Amino acid sequence: MDLGIEGRVALVMGASKGIGRGIASALAAEGARLAVSSRSEENLAALVADLGSEQAAAYPADTGDLVRIRELPGEIERDLGPIEILVLNTGGPPRGGSLEHSTDAWEDAYQSLVLTPRILAEAVVPGMRERGWGRIVNVASSSIREPIPDLALSNSTRMAAVGFLNTLAREVAGDGITVNTIATGRFATERLAEGYGGSLDEAARVARDEVPAARLGTPEEFGDLVAFVCSERAAYLTGTVIPLDGGLTRSS
């Protein structure tokens, strides 16, 4: 199936490992020109080496640094051209209950998970509107449907981000721009392992009992879905929250 995104310029945030790396690899396989971003210059360099410098270019950035985030779209446009696909992805904030974090921690989480998407969308949407084509995909968590214990910061701020993005989806749907969120379940990543004492094997063992699909998802599977959501074939799909969790989420 030709997804129709060959040559499109895509910015993938949090691209250097885990789900973000899976997304970058899937878009590269479809011929997109990638701007890959994360905090780790070393990991980004390894990703670019794997994908090829003709396919991807690295733009180090921390989603908590709003000054840097504002600079990013302009740099990419100068180097690669205007951003046509925006993938919003970042690691979650620290674990903890509803009353365990300081207000500074709440502000940091809001900056990373809500203001960064807002700033990036503000930068890319005008150009997408002019060209009559654009794709924005938000990588969220199943916690936006069912709050996860001990993840109060993530539960709350990710819901706020979805509220913003679903509102945006309605505003730009007539301009050829789609905006969708993928609600992530349990995937085989370092981030998930942290919740199981650093053991991905333990996370996989628990998943066999708790996830209806009886396994963890893979970053490659996640990337394949994102590539489709970004495609020409998905032009009528917008304003949605798509669960990708092996049947884990019980609420509709």
pLDDT digits (tens, 9 = 90+) for 52-61: 988 999 999 9
Question: ∠ CA 58-223-245 to the nearest 5 degrees?
Answer: 135
Q: pLDDT category, 205, cuts 50, 70, 90? A: very high
With contact defined as beta carbons under 8 Å apart, do 12 and 83 qualify? Answer: no
> Which pLDDT does position 11 carry in this prediction?
98
Can you tell me the mean pLDDT for 214-226? Answer: 97
Q: Which domains does the chain have, with CATH numbers?
A: 9-240 (3.40.50.720)
Q: Across all residues in the chain, what is the average pLDDT?
A: 95
Q: pLDDT category, 92, cuts 50, 70, 90? A: confident
CA dihedral 139, 142, 145, 151 (to 10 degrees): -100
Tokens of 110: 């809001």
The 241-244 sheet, strands edge to edge: 56-58, 33-36, 9-12, 85-88, 134-141, 177-184, 241-244
> Which pLDDT does position 129 carry in this prediction?
98
% of the chain surpassing 70 pLDDT: 99
Q: pLDDT category, 81, cuts 50, 70, 90? A: very high
With contact defined as beta carbons under 8 Å apart, do 156 and 94 qualify? Answer: no
Distance between CA atoms of residues 131 and 128, nearest Å: 5
pLDDT digits (tens, 9 = 90+) for 13-46: 999 999 999 999 999 999 999 999 999 999 999 9
Q: Cα Rg for the chain, rounded, in angstroms?
A: 17
pLDDT digits (tens, 9 = 90+) for 145-196: 888 889 999 999 999 999 999 999 999 999 999 999 999 999 999 888 888 9
Tokens of 210: 């708790």
Can you tell me the mean pLDDT for 206-230? Answer: 97
How far, in whole angstroms, is CA 28 from its chain's centroid? 16
With contact defined as beta carbons under 8 Å apart, do 140 and 157 qualify? Answer: no
Give the pTM: 0.96
Q: pLDDT category, 250, cuts 50, 70, 90? A: confident
Residue 207's nearest CA partner among 225, 189, 221 is: 189
Question: Given a cut of 80, is residue 251 above it in pLDDT?
Answer: no
> Which pLDDT does position 252 carry in this prediction?
58
pLDDT digits (tens, 9 = 90+) for 119-148: 999 999 999 999 999 999 999 999 898 888
Candidate from 102-116, 186-200, 215-229 with smallest mean pLDDT: 186-200
Please report, for residues 104, 107, 214, 216, the alpha-carbon distance to residue 157 in angstroms, rounded to integers and kept in the order given: 14, 10, 29, 25
